[in-house]
Amino acid sequence: MYIEQAFKSKNNAWRYVLGTVVTIVAMFAGQIPLAVAVIFKLGVTADFGTMDEATMMSALDSNLTFFFLLLSFAIGLGALLFLVKNLHRQTFTELTTSRKKIDWGRFWFSFGLIVILNVTLILVDYFFISPQDYTINFNLVPFLILAGISIVMVPLQTSFEEYLFRGYLMQGIGIKTGYRWIPLVITSVVFGGLHYWNPEVTQMGDMVMVTYIGTGFMLGIMTLMDEGLELPLGFHAANNMVAALLVTADWTAFNTESIFRDVSSPVAGWDVWISVLVIYPLILLVYAKKYNWRNWGDRLFGKVEKPEVIETYGVADIEDLSEIREDY
């Protein structure tokens, strides 16, 4: 079982608290290159106190800004994986899945499904529903640079969020509370809540938070039902990559050299519930049929129980008994 993988590692509560704090600090430290680039571009004498964030971000080329924004997540991911290996003595595979090895087929199925779904929805909206809301934004060279950045950096950004919330915190909170639903609720609400400072919320209103928190729950359900991160990793990477490459807007977190630009001024209303109550359950149903998910109640609401140690230690291992007791 996926959460129970953490029992194989050093899982003291203080390790998870320290690991979380250090990871977040590392991510914020990863924003220093962006700040330095903006200062270098505008000059140290610029009055930053009177500038809003959008003005400062516009000082740089959009592709360069995009790269620096994603860099902070990449640094956070590196810090998290370093801590998992050296602070918790946990393998990358155990953080990723309950299977003996990572199932990349699951990742690519999820990635392909969400790319097809998102591209289809956007093109249907562009050609048949709201063509007036879009303008063509395509410029070959900037777009190719954006594509290169997206292919390399977007999966690092989304992987950071998945490994931190659906991986590290899901496992840590799960083994400490003893129930599966508690880390599902906590990680989903915190994940969604952190998006409150996104420019989309400023434009569309607080109601759009339903989508962010609902997305957190959907990804968490995927993780618990499928006993691994492969499906959420593919979903998240595909979702953000399509957002970066296909459609941008002045009010989105990813303001890129995409193919289309959304020139509308949307306000979130009842329609945000369509994604959470209709589209997301249908996506979960596809995964459930594909991977034969069973025992929904137990996997989502059951207890997290420490597995019994059945391994027999030989004479050569006697010196390590103190470590064995700590681990198990």
- Per-residue pLDDT for 101 more than 90? yes
Q: What angle do CA 306, 228, 1 make, to 5 degrees?
A: 25
Average pLDDT of the chain is 91
| The pLDDT value given to residue 132 | 96
- Per-residue pLDDT for 91 more than 80? yes
Angstrom distance (rounded) from CA 54 to CA 73: 20
Confidence of residue 312 (pLDDT cuts 50, 70, 90): very low
- Within 8 A by CB and 6+ apart from 155, the residues are 233, 237, 241
- Per-residue pLDDT for 233 more than 70? yes
Q: Kindly state the tokens that stand for 248.
A: 């941008």
Angstrom distance (rounded) from CA 11 to CA 19: 11
What does pTM read for this prediction? 0.91
| The pLDDT value given to residue 169 | 98
- Per-residue pLDDT for 270 more than 90? no
Q: Which of 180, 188, 234 shows the shortest CA–CA distance to 211?
A: 188
- Per-residue pLDDT for 247 more than 70? yes
| The pLDDT value given to residue 43 | 76
Q: Which of 266, 237, 242 shows the shortest CA–CA distance to 134?
A: 266
How far apart, in Å, are the Cα atoms of 150 and each of 55, 116, 156, 250, 257?
Answer: 23, 17, 9, 19, 11
Angstrom distance (rounded) from CA 219 to CA 232: 5
- Per-residue pLDDT for 181 more than 60? yes
- Per-residue pLDDT for 303 more than 60? yes
- Percent of the chain past pLDDT 70, that is, above it, reads 89
Give the residue-averaged pLDDT of 206-232. Answer: 97
Confidence of residue 323 (pLDDT cuts 50, 70, 90): very low
Q: What angle do CA 67, 69, 73 make, to 5 degrees?
A: 105
